[in-house]
Amino acid sequence: MSTAALVRGSEDLPDWHELMAAFSAWSAGEHPVTACACRLARLHRRRCPRRRKVVARRRAQLIEAIDAWAADHLCSPARVGSIGVYVDRMAAAVAEAHRALRNGEPMSGAVHTAFTDAAVLAAGWTEITSAAVPRVYLGVDQ
């Protein structure tokens, strides 16, 4: 995805509810980050050992697209690191939680651990969205 495709959308990051909906493919939403999050989740849900390099390359492109949007729209604190990598980690955790639920007992420890991991990342996302400030360009004629 090119950075030109990411110019539309809100200046703020989507909240964790919007990301979880995108990961579950309920709604990719209008926001460029949720659109990329939805695609990342699809990649994590499909396990294709023979296409591992292709999937890794596509994930890297989506992570880069999220980071490009963030660089253009946010004054992000240095400690956050890559927002795209964080979204990718969340997508992987949610995919793993759904996989554990489908393949195991609903009350098993593996399911609990997988959903706890996803919840911890969602809580961290709330901290990231609270710390990220929209970039403001002053004195530019539009």
Per-residue pLDDT reduced to its tens digit, 6-24: 444 457 899 999 999 999 8
Per-residue pLDDT reduced to its tens digit, 54-109: 999 999 999 999 999 998 888 866 566 899 999 999 999 999 999 998 887 778 88
Is it the case that residue 1 has pLDDT exceeding 70?
no
Report yes or no: 40 and 59 within 8 Å, Cβ to Cβ: yes
Report yes or no: 33 and 14 within 8 Å, Cβ to Cβ: yes
pTM assigned to the model? 0.82
Continuous H helices in 25-132: 32-45, 52-73, 83-103, 109-131
Is it the case that residue 132 has pLDDT exceeding 90?
no
d(C-alpha 26, C-alpha 62), whole Å: 19
